Amino acid sequence: MDIGGSLPVLYLSLLLVLLSAAAFFIVRQAIQTRKIEGTLSRLEGKLAKEKGTAQEYYELGGIYLQKKLFSQAVKQFERALKAPTLETVESAPIYNALGFAYFAQEQYDIAIRQYKEALKIKPEYVTALNNLGHAYERKQLIPSAIETYEQVLNLEPQNGVAKRRLEALQKRLVPSS
């Protein structure tokens, strides 16, 4: 077999595989974006005309978070919390998302309050605990952050986020020799 003749075929095959993979991911992303935009359009249209459910406001707020439209997300999450259809148990993820929106705007004190509200409703809500720990870190409340990450690891010993952040904080506290 002639290696000189098969080398271009090998390169072309490899290029074809790479281009096919890239095309797959591009098409998948386009479909996902189109779906999100369709949901956004539908929800904005519906909620402009009539009152929605807590779930609809929460979903719209989540889309605004993805688009990094944080102040708009805050408005939707607040509407979700005021919706008459909201059950108390369902409000924990909304408070967590509201905290995340404030955190993204560097309003850490408000974010901390929202995460704590989520945890009042659902004390073992690991995502809210991780987010609370991160907000404490940003506020330089290191002992509170450490305690919060330890709570996460008590609930979920294999939680990678809490493990990494806790180790990093503990390294910062130990003076280097």
Mention every residue, 6+ apart, whose C-beta is less than 8 A from residue 101: 61, 65, 70, 71, 73, 74, 77
10-residue averages of pLDDT along the chain (177 residues): 70 88 86 78 80 90 94 95 84 96 97 97 96 96 95 96 93 69
d(C-alpha 45, C-alpha 117), whole Å: 30
pLDDT at 176: 56
Looking up tokens 């009539």 gives 50
pLDDT at 6: 82
- Terminal Cα-to-Cα distance of the chain (whole angstroms): 63
pLDDT at 73: 96
Assigned architecture for domain 107-177 = Alpha Horseshoe (1.25)
Please choose, from the candidates 19, 61, 63, the residue with its C-alpha nearest in 3D space to the C-alpha of residue 39. Answer: 63
Range(s) within the chain of domains with CATH label 1.25.40.10: 107-177
Fold of 31-86: 1.25.40
* pTM for this predicted structure: 0.77
